[in-house]
Structure 1
């Protein structure tokens, strides 16, 4: 876990910008400790770096960058679902092949 100061040093994004992103980017909510200090996980570090890239390099607004990240996450989930369906089909075809092969060899 990283503190907000460590995140500033690591990413070059100022604390006030990070706090603003918390308000406008869905899903960007670092945990807080008992004292209310923000603690960032590696997932949040990755998200911060992606937001920084989209905003500084691709010229997205913070809100637009948040929407882009949501779309990217949805595409990843859609691909994961598709891969799972392909694996299921492959297993069915393998089972059919083995069943037919066993039937032909026992005849």
Structure 2
């Protein structure tokens, strides 16, 4: 009985921790005005790749996404248009480690939640 309660508690904690990561990531996404260039789904009028496209390329590779946001890795999504994004990276270069995780989690959450 005790093991079942512990397992249920861990599952609930894990689900709430993931939810808070998604929420924190969304807050950062909005705070840094990422939504100006990155729409939720593909849109010809968008400046940058959509969240959907980012999720497709970085899901399972969140560490590389975090390194990109730090300015330490090359983009794997639409590298030809990276020049537009490069000046914006100063906003994310000095975040806390938890913020990188949250933003990466949010950016890939489009596919995690389908």
Q: Do these two structures clear the TM 0.5 threshold for a shared fold by scoring above it? A: no
Higher relative contact order (CA 8 A, sep 6+): 2
More strand by share: 1
Which protein is bigger by CA-based radius of gyration? 1
In the superposition, the TM-score normalised over structure 1's length comes to: 0.30
